[in-house]
Each structure stands twice: as structure tokens, then as C-alpha cells.
A and B are shown apart, each in its own frame.
Chain A
Amino acid sequence: MNLSILILLPLLTALAVLLARNNNQVRWISFAGATAQFILAFVLMYLFREERIAGSTQQMLFEQQYNWFPSWHISFHMGVDGISVAMILLTAFVVLAGVLVSWNVTKMTKEFYFLLILLSLGAYGFFISLDLFILFFFLEIAVIPKYLLIGIWGSGKKEYSANKLALMLMGGSALVLVGLLGVYFNTPARSFDLLLLSDTGISREAQMICFPLLFVGFGVFTALFPFHTWVPDGHSSAPTAGSMFLAGISMKLGGYGCLRVATLLMPEGAKAYSTWIIVLSSIAILYGAFATMMQKDLKYINAYSSVSHCGFVLLGIGMLTQTSMTGAVMQMVSHGLMTALFFAVIGMIYERTHTRQVSEMGGLLKVMPFISTVLFIVGLCSLGLPGLSGFVAEMTVFVGSWENPDPFRRVATIAACLSIVVTAVYILRAIGQTAMGPVKESYLHLTDARWNEKLAAIILIFGIVAIGTAPFWLSDLINPGTELIMQKIKMVP
């Protein structure tokens, strides 16, 4: 399969959106584009599996390389392994749902969809690039759409949040940039090519410097404590689809980067700094969970819980066992779907009740059974109910983390395990106060979800349940990728 289609398709969609004549056209074009991308993602997965079953053992499949800035040894190098395929699938899900959920955005519709699709373009590009330069290119491409989405279509203190988000993410990518340059100049190859770099290796001294730069840099995207403060504000101010993309896709860029770039290229660094990663991510998990408990705004609840959940991603990476890394990737996918759904639901509720304060709602189950049911599902997924994706991912991380007998890691794992209790507390509080309880008089006339919202929710729920009930397809997809990283780590003395 030609991977450039993955980039070209959103690009064309975006252009088509620009050329569209009215809002309806914009919507349908975006929807068509997102659907095509969705199908494409599945096709990609199918072809990928076929290749693997056919016995292809290459690290990356469907590799393609075009020269781009040959003087810097930059090439447009694309390729996917299971991890990327998983992330691409995630992106496709979230994008499609996001497009559907935004169906009745009336303010500057064209621009809105254009930016959404641009964002997805960034994500797709990021996940398929095998050249660090391009990776970085796509990483940054997504920052401004986020800024504008929040700033223009957001709510609350949107300018502040948008600024904070853009600046912190830029800060992260600035560190990434320095790290990348460090990598670039510390290999004999003078190359940005991921595969080449991972083959040639980087000197230990350079790893000691570049690993933290890259990890923290990418970590900012994944809400690494204490660089997570853009998350609550950014997510809560963003429009629905914006939050979905932010939490569902954008935060995953960081996790993917931590794994694919930082850890794969610099196993020694990863090993040396794993203690720090674990400390920070455990703090994020627990602290995020406790902070969530005190939130009163639904979006803040989900945003802080994202901090906590993304902590699992980093924890999984930091534990440096294959299972934990697989778990980290699964957690990325799972959290992406789940949090996107959560934000979608919050958006639906907000659109109807015009409040996001938990205390002001009640009994929504009565007036909007569909939306409330989705809220239940996503809440249960968030607290790790078996059969939904969250459980699978978290358990994989736990089991993986436990594989390392070091007492310190044990303690961290136990701390992480305990967070599931706190998660239950805040999720149930949120659900209990919104969906359950006596219904408010003024809500009685409210309506349930429309077709587009239902479709969006169903798509995401499908993803969540598919992972939750049949996780093996996902883990089979991911495992070879993490295995390779593990091999690198194991070679470190």
C-alpha cells in the first residue's frame, strides 16, 4: 500500500473543504474524507496483517522513501509497523467521530473543518514518518490548528488556554528539536533516518543528553508531570471536536514519540532515566487522579483524568519491559478512543444543558437515555471495566510493570494500581451527579442525540468494545514493534 495516500487524502479533503461553496458541502466533504480515511486505515491494517502473515519480518512495512533536502540527508521516508498501524486506526476513528460531532458548528464552518482536517493530516503524517525531520514537521504542523480551534471556537477562558497550550507544546517541540539535532550530530551517519539511526546507534554520552530532551519534549505532549498544565485548560476550553482531537490524537503523538524516537533510538538513555520516568509518571497517575476527584466541571474531570491515564502510557514506557510497552501503546489507543468519546458526550450534554458543572445537572438518563448510556460506557471504560478497552490496556501495563522485580518499580506499580480506585471514585461521582439522580425540571424538554452524534458515539464505542473484547488483534499488531525496541534495550549492558 502506498502510504502517501494517508497524507494525500486529508490534504485533498482540506483543499476540497476550502473550495466548498456552502456549509453543507463542507460537512459532507469532510465526512466523506474522514470516512475514506477510516476505510483506508482498516485496509492498511488488513494489508499489514496479510503481509505479516505472509511472513514478512521487516521492521517496517510499506516503506517508501523520497529524497527531500538531500543535502541534510533528509528524505521523505515512510513506513509502518504495528504500533503505527494502531495509532493510525485510532486517528481514523477519532477523526471520523470528530467530524460527525461537529456537524452543527455554525461559526466559520469551513475554517473549522479545514483546521480539523489539517490536524488529522499532522497526526497521520507523524505516525507514518520514519524520518525524524518529517516526524518533527508533522508534530509541529498540528500545533497551530489546535491553537486556532481553541481560540476561535472554544469557550471559557479560551485565549488563555489556547496560548498556554500552544506555548507549552511548542516548548515541548523545542526540546524535541534540540534532542533531534543532538541525535543528528552524534551519529556518524549524519542522518535523520530513524531506521538508520537505530541501526548505527548513538554514543552513550549523547544519549545521556538527548534522551531526556526528547523524552521530556514528547512528554509535554503526553502530559508528563509537571508539564501537564496545558491539558486541563486546553481541553476544557476547546470545542468538542477540538478536545477530542487534542486528547484523542494529539496527546498520543507524544507517547508515540517517546516510544518510537526516544526509547528506540536511545536504549541506554532510557535505561538510565527509567527511574525518573517512573517517578514522574506514577506521580502523574496518582496526582492526576486525585486532582480529578476535586473537579466540578465535566471537561476538567476528563482532562485531569487524561493526565492520569496518560501517566500509564509513560509508566509503561518507563518500565522498559515488552509487555509494559505494549500496554503503553494499547493504553494510547484505548485512551484515545475513550477520551474522544468522553469529550464527545460532554459536548453533547453541554450543547443541551449549557452547563458543564456536574452539580448543576442530574437525571439526564431520563431525558437523554442514549447520551447518558454512552456516558456510562465511557465512564466504565475509563475506570477500567473489562470488556472495554481501558481494562485491557491498563492491565497490560500492570502486568508488564510487574515483570521487573525491582522493589522500587513494584511500589510504583502498586501505586498505579491503587489509582484505579480513585478513578472509580471520580468517574462514579461524575456519572452519579449527571446521569443519575432526580431530573431537573428545566431539563425535561431536552432531546436525545441526533443521528450524527449517535453515529459518532457508536463508531467510538465500536472501537472501545472491539479492543475490550478481542484485545488479541491489537496486541498481536503491537507486539512485534515493541519486541524490537525491547531487543535494543536488552542489548544494553
Chain B
Amino acid sequence: MPNTTYIALIPLLPLAGFLLLGIFGRTYFKNTSGMIGTSLLLASTLLSLYTAYGYFFDYGKVNGVYQKLVPLQITWLEFSKGVSIDMGIILDPISVMMLVVVTFISLMVHIYSLAYLKGEERFPTYYAFLGLFTFSMLGLVISSNIFQIYIFWELVGVSSFLLIGYYYDRPSAVAACKKAFIVTRFADAGFLIGILILSYYSGTLDFNTLIQKLTNPESLELKAAVTASFLGISALTWGLVLVFIGGAGKSAMFPLHIWLPDAMEGPTPVSALIHAATMVVAGVFLVARLFPIFALSAPAALELVGYVGAISALIAAVIACTQTDIKRVLAYSTMSQIGYMMFALGVSKYGGEDGLGYTASMFHLFTHAMFKALLFLGAGAVIHYIHSNEMKDMGGLRKYLPITHITFLIACLAIAGVPPFAGFFSKEEILLAAYHHNTGIYYLALITSGLTAFYMFRLYFSIFWNKPAQVHGEHHGEGGFAMMMPLVLLALGAAAAGFIPFGHFVSSDGNRLNSAFHLNFSIAPVALGLAGIFFAMWLYKKQNDRPDKIAASLNGLYKAAYRKFYIDELYLFVTKKILFNLVGRPAAWFDKNVVDGLVNATGNTTEYISETIKGLQSGKVQQYAMYFLVGVIGLAVLFIYIWKF
């Protein structure tokens, strides 16, 4: 293996950008910060492409199997012998793939933002945060140690928080960023405990060792982890489920998804980067990272992953059909697509053909990054033009935003699974995997896929068709080259990425996986997708009252879906009513009145006693003498009769 320590530069360059712009940006790089950030990231991107090339085509493969390489590892914090947080780089197909995805999308967003956020007061800060995010995300994907991943996991969370709260003076943005952070934080607590469990049983935090120890049926560690049980479930399963909770939080899986729609309060490019293409797939990535353990040692946990993914996919799709804020529609669609990836992992097995789900999941991750980023950036262009997120303010924009329109359409086709766009390929593989291993999930996925097509085209038609074209003032067109170039590049990706023979590179065990293309199998989902598209066209291509009628006829369901199945309210109830009112308030009350009260009571009692016995000191000298005599007699009696020696 050649010297690959330069890989460390990939995350470090954005970090440098963050520090540089964060500390000096406001004073020195007021206008140039965007360029600085972008160029640093460009370097990063090139480096990761180079790395990917090197890994996939040069040194990564040994004896036909892609290896897990650790070119760099330093001990960062040693807890005890063997248990240490190491900062390292791991190179394996998924991390390399993620490197490329993250840097590429991030680069696109950087470029796009140059125009999108031009003239903003906190422009340097924005680029600093982007740098921080990119650094964290890259650090996350190359983590060689489970604690390292947790560290970057948290960093990703915080940069997401910062970016969502970028418009800090909007109360809704503040609320959204808090919500995002707290919900993911809650999930992270699970992750943390999961890490603790896994590390305790395996005695290590290092991924390679961990996986090795917990997948080898002979190892004592695995035996211990499997035999130890709590509530009838083995410790290992608990650990993995808890880790998955962490992943589910970040990946907005049901029921921890509530933060994602709100997170759309951030600038649209940020949504594209974080809440569509990269960060939200971290959960998928995490499960993929630990996939051998899931698949080999704790199938029950993996099954849970599958069901959670499928349910999330369906629910999100249903909700997406009813939302009117275009970014929210996209957000739910993201959730739905990530659900796909999750259940794809959930239905997968380790190794060989059975590992199709794994490959498919990664493949979908890859393609999804392209078209979802594209969708968001396109939506951004629309919003940039309209200054509104609401569908009702839009319509007929295809004339004014031609490039946006085309690229958006490509993305919609891709996500709807229309061949030959990228989404088609990855989705087919997923459905295939599900079909083979869990038909229940398969049918759920099928419905979802139809719904996906429907709501995407509902979106598409509402924006670009529906109403007659309106002139929106004296407008600045589509936002120039900086905004259009990413759209075009991503559209190319969304159109063509499906043709990459993904299984050759990424598979559960590193072996080459040839994905066969089953034409017959594809008919059902494609048909369903097309049906969805046409239904959407029927409803939304022209302005009419059909949608309202349908909505009215489905009153209850529609309302429930529109209100996101009241999950937010449920959370609100739990936090406000239970945590705040039933725990926090009593705790504060208890502290103030009981604990503190006791302290004060001690003082008051002392004073009270002091007041009560003041009569002893009556000022009467005769009484003093009497006490004197009583004291004498008392002492004498005590020591003569009672306390004898």
C-alpha cells in the first residue's frame, strides 16, 4: 500500500477553512471567504477522487477482495489497556465511496452558495460552518474507531445545529435547530450506551478488532456478549439496537424523524448538503459499518433495522403527499428514501448474493445523494426566485427557470425510479433484495415507491406547471453560473450514476457482486411509479379542485398525514407535559423547598430554640444561683448514682 497519509488532508482542509474563516473571517475575509472555502474544498474533493481511484483500482483490492486499510491511526485518549479512542483513517469501499459523495456534494453546495448567499452579513461564518460540517462528515466516514465515529457524529450534529440556526434571528429557525440537536442528542445517548456495551464485551473500540471479535463465533467475547442478557435479549443485541437508535436519530428514522422537516429552516443549500445528501445518511453508514456484526451475530437487531426503515419509508411518503412547503416535501422524501436504504440493509445478509441488500443500500445512498442534492438545490433556485417556500405561491415557472426546470425534472424522474435514471437502478436492487428476503417489507416498499413518484411529481407540477406563468417583478433570472453549474453537474450524476457497476466495488464482504438485471421484476415498480406520475399530472398539471376534493374525501387520513400523524404533538406532550412538568418542575420545586428548605429549616430551628430558651438568662441573680445549685446537685447525682465508675 502506498503512503496514504495525505488522506488526512481531506478532512483537515475544510477544518482549516473553518478555523481560518471562523476566527478571522469577519475581519479579513469579508468577501473572499466563499472563494477560500470553495477552493479548499475543491482540493479536498480532488484528493478524495484520487484516493477513490487509488483504492478501487490500485491498492484496495487484494486477492479480489477489497480490504479494510488503516493507513493512519494515533492514540488520542487511552481509557485503559486496549480501550482507547484512536484517531485514524479506515479505507474500505464504503468509506471511500462516502468520501467522494461528501466532498462532491459539499463542493457543489459551496459553489452554489457563492451565489445563493451572496451579500449575506454572516457570509464568512456560513462558509466556516460549512467547513466544519464537511470536516466532521469526512471525519465520520473515515473513522477507524467506534468512539471516533461518535466524536464526529456529535460534531456533525453540532454543525447541523449551527447551520440550521444560521438565521438565528428567526424564532422558527432557533426552535428548529434546537429540536434537531436535542432529538439527535437523545438518539446519541443510545448510541453512546451502545458503544459502552459493545466496547465492554469486546474490550476494544477499534472497528476492525471489534468486528473481528464479535463476528468470530469462536471468540470468548462474542460468547460473553451473547450469553449475557437483559430482559431476555442478549447484550450484543441490546448494544447494536442502541447503536442503531443513534443511527436512526441522525437518519431521521421513525419515530426520531421529527427534527428533519423543521431543519428545513436552514438555508436551502445547507438542506441539500446536510439534510438530504450527507449527514442524514450517517445512520445508514453506521449500520453498514457494523454490518458484519449485525448480520452475523445479531440478526434480530438487523430485522429491527429493516422494519424501522420500511415503516419510516412508508410514513414519510404518505406525509410528503400532503405537505405544501416544497422543502418539507423534499425532507419527507429524504426520510422515505433513507428508509429505503435502512431496510435494504435490514433485509440483507452477509456475503455473496445474499448481501445484495447491502450493496443496494449503498448504491441507493450514492444515487440518492446526487438526485436529492439536485432537488434541493433546484428548490433553492425556485425559492431564490419566488422568496417563498409555499407551493401555492408557485406555478408555471418552467419558462422563467428553464435550467432549473430540466434538472429538477431529471431529479424527479430519478427518484421516481423511472429508467434509465440513477434512482431506478438502485431502487430496483433494493426491491429485489427485499423481495428475496422479506416480502412484507417488499410490499411496503412497493407502495412507497408508487407514492414517491406521486408526491415528487405533485411537487414538480405544482412548481413548474399548474398555474399560468406569472412575472415575479424585475427578476434576476436563475442566479447565474455559480448556481446553475452545480445543478447541471448533479443532473448529470442523477441521470448517469445508475450505470456504475456498484456491486463491483461495494459489497458486504468486499467480494465482487454482480448485480443481475431482472427485467420482469422491474415491471411492477416502474408501472407503479408511472401510475403515480400520471396521477400527479392529472391532479396538478392544471389548476383544478380535484386535489381538494380528494383531500376532503380522505378527510381524517389527510388531516392526520398533513399534521404528520401528530407525532410532533406527541413529542411535545412528552417533553412539555411529562419531562418539564412532571420531572423538571418537581425537581426544581423539590430543590427549592425541600432540600433548600431543610437547610433553611436548620437555621430557623436554631434561631427558634435560641429564642425559646432565652428565659434561662432572666437577669435575676437568684435564679442564676438556683441554676447553679441545680447544676451542682445534678452533676453530683449523675456521677454518684447514675454514671458509676
Interface residues of A (CB under 8 A from B): 164, 167-168, 225-226, 228-230, 232-233, 287, 290-291, 293-295, 304, 321-323, 326, 363, 365-366, 369, 380, 383-387, 391-392, 395-396, 398-400, 402-403, 405, 413-414, 417-418, 420-421, 424-425, 428-429, 432, 435-439, 470-472, 475, 479
Contact = CB atoms under 8 A, between A and B. Distances in A.
A435 B185 contact: no
Contact of B77 (A295, A380, A413, A471): A471
A391 B151 contact: yes
B584 A293 contact: yes
A30 B444 CA distance: 71
Closest 8 CB pairs of A and B: A294-B588, A386-B151, A290-B587, A436-B168, A293-B584, A424-B185, A402-B196, A229-B596
6 contacts: A290-B579, A290-B583, A291-B587, A293-B588, A363-B168, A385-B155
Contacts of A365: 168
Contact of A229 (B79, B199, B595): B595
B134 to A, nearest CB: 15
Interface in B584-619: 584-585, 587-588, 590-591, 595-596, 598-599, 603
Contacts of A323: 79-80, 83
A167 B185 CA distance: 39
Contacts of B174: 432, 436-437
B266 to A, nearest CB: 13
A357 B538 CA distance: 56
Nearest to B580: A293
B59 interface: no
B155 A402 contact: no
B185 A417 contact: no
Contacts of B150: 386
B591 A287 contact: yes
B151 A413 contact: no
A322 B575 CA distance: 36
B178 interface: yes
B509 interface: no
Contacts of A226: 595, 598
B200 interface: yes
A403 B585 contact: no
B571 to A, nearest CB: 12
Interface of B: 26, 75-80, 83, 85, 147, 150-152, 154-155, 158, 161, 165, 168-171, 173-175, 177-178, 181-182, 185-186, 188-189, 192-193, 196-197, 199-200, 575, 579-580, 583-585, 587-588, 590-591, 595-596, 598-599, 603
Contacts of B77: 392, 395-396, 471-472, 475
A233 B200 CA distance: 40
A335 to B, nearest CB: 17
Contacts, number: 145
Nearest to A471: B77
A403 B169 contact: no
Contact of B196 (A291, A385, A399): A399
A169 to B, nearest CB: 12
Contact of B200 (A293, A380, A402): A402
Given A366-B169, A437-B169, A229 B599 contact: yes
B151 A387 contact: yes
B171 A398 contact: no
B80 to A, nearest CB: 5
Contacts of B583: 290
A315 to B, nearest CB: 14
A289 to B, nearest CB: 9
Nearest to A167: B603
A39 B197 CA distance: 42
A420 B193 CA distance: 12
Q: Which of the listed residues B75, B76, B168 has the most CB atoms from chain A within 10 Å of its own CB?
A: B168
A229 B598 CA distance: 10
Contacts of B165: 432, 436
A398 B80 CA distance: 12
Nearest to B196: A402
B193 A414 contact: yes
B599 A425 contact: no
Contact of A287 (B169, B196, B587): B587
B591 A229 contact: yes
A400 B186 contact: no
A429 B78 contact: no
B76 to A, nearest CB: 6
A421 B158 contact: no
B587 A294 contact: yes
Given A290-B588, A385-B155, A418-B189, A425 B171 contact: no
A134 to B, nearest CB: 30
Nearest to A476: B78
A184 to B, nearest CB: 27
A399 B584 contact: no
Nearest to B224: A405
A85 to B, nearest CB: 18
Contacts of A425: 182, 575, 579
A127 to B, nearest CB: 23
A168 B580 CA distance: 30
A425 to B, nearest CB: 6
Given A291-B591, A396-B77, A428 B171 contact: no
Nearest to B161: A428
Nearest to B77: A471
Nearest to B78: A475
A489 B196 CA distance: 23
A421 B189 contact: yes
B599 to A, nearest CB: 5
A290 B189 contact: no
A402 B83 CA distance: 12
A439 B169 contact: yes
B584 A398 contact: no
Contacts of A291: 584, 587-588, 590-591
A369 B584 contact: no
B601 to A, nearest CB: 12
A311 B575 CA distance: 24
B74 to A, nearest CB: 9
